[in-house]
Amino acid sequence: MEASFEPRITAFVCNWCTYTGADLAGTSRLPMASNVRIIRLPCTGRIDHLFVAKAFERGADGVIVSGCHPADCHYTAGNYHARRRFGVFRELLSFLGVDPRRLTFSWVSASEGGKWADVVNETVARVRELGPFDAYHRLADAPVPDGDPFAALESATPRADGAGENEPSGVHASEPGRGRAAATGGSGA
């Protein structure tokens, strides 16, 4: 892992609680790590788990999902659907080759600017420790096999326990994976 590794974290937050809580953190001038980019959605209920998968695929090292506390949802129940969905999705994440520790799920209300700063700082610290998430780029950059297409896939897929991610990666250092993602990004899904 490079010494200068700066995690890139995408946050999916609801408009009413966490986005407003993050606004409050700003109004209260609470300093926090600058590694998080927020995507505002009306409700955590709107968050398709494929958003999270896509964020990882596109090069995020960590993802935060945050909304209103149970029983405080602006839309009554969206956060309950989100909670149930992410309970299941967390399991699927390991199967996708992503260490579940890269995903933070939290409740931050509109009055909890301090808690938002804590969630950001804790997630950045945790992901920094886990190192860059580049398993998908290594997979994408693996040579195309002539014969059995699955043979090469198996050798390139990281182990499900996440141990493979922490190995120093030449692919990441030279960043061809990042370049690929950048080249295809920005033009819509």
Partner 1 sequence: MSRIGVFVCHCGENIARTVDCAAVADALREHPGVVRAEDYKYMCSDPGQQLVKKAIEEDGLTGVVVCACSPHMHETTFRRAAAQAGLNPFVVEMANIREHCSWIHDDRERATAKAIDIGRTIVEKVKQDRPLETIRIPVTKRALVIGGGIAGIQAALDIADGGHEVVLVEKEASIGGHMSQLSETFPTLDCSQCILTPRMVEAYQHPRITLHTWSEIEKVDGYIGNFTVTIRKKARSVDENLCNGCGDCQAACPSRKVASEFDAGLGKRTAISTPFPQAVPNIPVLDRANCTLFKGRAKGLAKDACGKCKEACLKGAIDYDTEDTFVTEEVGAIVVATGFQLYDIGREQPAGLKGYGEYGYGEVPDVIDGLQFERLASASGPTGGEILRPSDGAVPRTVVFVKCVGSRDPEKGMSYCSKICCMYTAKHTMLYKHKVHDGRAVVFYMDIRAAGKGYDEFSRRAIEEDGAEYVRGRVSRIFRDGDVVKVWGYDTLSGRQVVIDADMVVLATAVRPQPGIAELAQKLSVSYDQDGFLNEAHPKLRPVETNTAGVYLAGACQAPRDIPESVAMASATAAKVLGLFSADELERDPSVALVNERTCSGCFHCERVCPYGAVEHRDVCDMEGHVCGHVAWVNPGVCQGCGTCVAVCPSKSVELAGFTDSQVYAEINALAGW
Q: Which residue shows structure tokens 């960590």? A: 62
> Side by side, which strands form the sheet with 62-67?
36-41, 9-14, 62-67, 103-107
CB-wise, 76 or 159, nearer to partner 1? 76
Q: How far apart are CA 103 and CA 10, in angstroms?
A: 10
Residue of 1, 54, 83, 126 interacting with partner 1 (CB under 8 A): 54
The C-alpha angle with vertex 34 and arms to 118 and 52, in degrees rounded to 5, equals 75
**To the nearest 10°, the Cα dihedral for 22, 23, 28, 29?**
80
Could you say whether residue 92 binds partner 1 (CB under 8 A)?
Answer: no
Q: Binding of partner 1 at residue 83 (CB under 8 A)?
A: no
- State which residue, 92 or 150, has the beta carbon closest to partner 1: 92
Q: How many residues bind partner 1 (CB under 8 A)?
A: 55
Residue 104 · residue 112 · CB < 8 Å:
no
Does 74 interact with partner 1 (rule: CB under 8 A)? Answer: yes
From 108-116, 124-132, 139-147, 152-160, give the range in contact with partner 1 by CB under 8 A.
Answer: 108-116
Tell me: does residue 188 bind partner 1 (CB under 8 A).
yes
Contact 176, 137 (CB under 8 A): yes
- Residues lying near partner 1 in the complex (CB under 8 A) are found at 8, 10, 16, 19-20, 22-23, 25-27, 29-32, 34, 37-43, 45-49, 51, 54-55, 58-60, 71-78, 81, 85, 109-111, 117, 181-182, 184-189
